[in-house]
Structure 1
Amino acid sequence: MLKEYTKSQLALRNGQDKDEIWVAFKGNIYDVGASRLWRNGKHYEHWAGQDLTDELSDAPHTENVFERFKIIGILIP
């Protein structure tokens, strides 16, 4: 079973406050720290530690990009 995290806990995993670089999408939290595109917690105009569900429509890729990353938790309201 995956651990649950709040938005406040996710916000700390931004590559700055803690070493982890995590993002949420559709309720799942992904570790994107291994991606060179997320160095220092920034990916173009997006920052780690956030729920990116509503921002995907601005991306040049589909949600399939998340299949590359391990789900490490669940985002709770």
Structure 2
Amino acid sequence: MDEKLYSKNQLALRNGTDKEEIWVALNGVIYDVSASRLWKNGKHYEHWAGQDLSDELKDAPHTEKVFEKFEIVGKLR
């Protein structure tokens, strides 16, 4: 199956407000974090859903391994 590609604008709509889904991107991969209680309402501490968090991960207390538990919905084009 081909991976779906999404634009930054399409990702931005999945912020927990404009659309129901709560998505974030990391290293070009888009994850659905809707089921996480830590992403309630599209906000996780000072981070907002609907965007690429690759540059922000270096400041996080966790590694990208935490994203392995979330469903991959596609790739960022």
Q: TM-score, normalising length from structure 2? A: 0.97
Q: Which residue of 1 aligns with 2:39?
A: 38
Q: Distance in 2 between matches of 1:68 and 1:60?
A: 17
Identity among equivalent pairs (%): 74
Aligned residues, how many? 76
**Helix, strand or coil at the partner of 2:56:** helix
Q: Which residue of 2 aligns with 1:57?
A: 58
For the pair 1:13 / 2:20, whether they are aligned, the reply is no
Amino acid at match of 2:66: V
Amino acid at match of 2:14: R
Q: TM-score, normalising length from structure 1? A: 0.97
Q: Distance in 2 between matches of 1:59 and 1:52?
A: 10
**Helix, strand or coil at the partner of 1:53:** coil
Q: Distance in 1 between matches of 2:60 and 2:17?
A: 23
Structure 1 runs not aligned, ≥5 long? none
Q: Which residue of 2 aligns with 1:69?
A: 70
Alpha-carbon RMSD? 0.5
Q: Distance in 1 between matches of 2:3 and 2:72?
A: 8
Structure 2 runs not aligned, ≥5 long? none
User: What CA deviation, in whole Å up to 9, does each residue of 1:1-59 have, x standing for no partner?
Assistant: 21100001100000000000000000100000000000000000000000000000110
4+ runs of 1 displaced by more than 6 Å?
none
